[in-house]
A = this chain, B = another copy of it.
Amino acid sequence: MSKKEALLKAAENKVRLGGYSNFSFRELASEVGIKSASVHYHFPTKADLGAELAHQYTDSFLAALGEPNELKANGKNPIDVYTQLFRRALVTDKKMCLCGLLGAESDSLPDKVRLEVKRFFNQNLTWLSAAHLTNGEPNPAQAAIQTVSLLEGAMMISKTLDDNSYFELATQ
């Protein structure tokens, strides 16, 4: 793993625990074994790092999902696959969804970071609409916003109350 990748990984962990202000160049640098000034070589500003982090997070999130109609063709319910990805983030990573956290504080984010968070939710809603469409839902757009809202909310509350059974109950 390159230093740049290690910096992004370290930043992701910090942000998913406490938001955009929960990481500093100094902390990231010391975690990957370089000096804080060197972080600026890879990311000119903190906003650049945050934006690239959210962008890559979105891409790998969507990539992990696959295509709704392909999932359906393989006998899987794409909504279950989607739910499972959230569950893994909560149970395995024991962390919030990166963009769920950044979205909550989006009013105070640098423009380029906020833009990437918007991209995450727009792409998720598009994916979920397609998924609900293949499931024969009468109103896919509505089902899409309801699905992602429920998952993000349940995740946040389960984290807060430190009890994953709330997530299970909400998604059951």
Using a CB–CB distance below 8 Å, which chain A residues touch chain B? 17-19, 21-22, 95-96, 99-101, 103-109, 114, 117-118, 121-122, 141-142, 145-146, 148-154, 156-157, 159-162, 166, 169-170, 172
CA distance A172 to B107 in the complex (A): 25
Given contacts A101-B104, A107-B18, contact A152 B145 (CB under 8 A): no
Would B152 and A157 count as touching, CB distance under 8 A? yes
CA distance A133 to B109 in the complex (A): 40
Would A103 and B19 count as touching, CB distance under 8 A? no
Given contacts A19-B21, A107-B18, contact A157 B148 (CB under 8 A): yes
A124 — nearest CB in chain B belongs to which residue? B157
Q: Within the complex, what minimum Cβ distance (angstroms) separates A92 from chain B?
A: 15
Among B118, B141, B145, B170, the residue within 8 A (CB) of A146 is B170
